[in-house]
Structure 1
């Protein structure tokens, strides 16, 4: 991906975010907060995930 493509992508993402109404942004934020976090990742970081991936590769 060239630099121009990356800048174009970032510009599109920023403008789409700016163009969305405040109500939609607020609803999306509230919906994301309702999803319960995975406690193993929240409390212990990436290590449980790394162990899961390593275990799956060995199986």
Structure 2
């Protein structure tokens, strides 16, 4: 990808973002934050999940 193509792509994305109403941007941002995995999973991968499953009490 040439530099000119990249600049064009970034410019198009920026203009699309700026044309979007402020409320829509805020709604998308909050939806994206809610879809994030837990912080421990993002930082350490699958290890916290496996430890939690290992030490979870079984009835």
TM-score normalised to the size of structure 2? 0.60
Q: Greater helix percent: which structure?
A: 1
2:10 alignment partner in structure 1: 10
Over the aligned positions, Cα root-mean-square deviation in angstroms equals 2.1
5+ residue gaps, structure 1: 49-59
Tell me whether 1:30 sits opposite 2:37 in the alignment.
no
TM-score normalised to the size of structure 1? 0.60
Larger Rg: 2
Runs ≥4 residues deviating over 6 A:
none
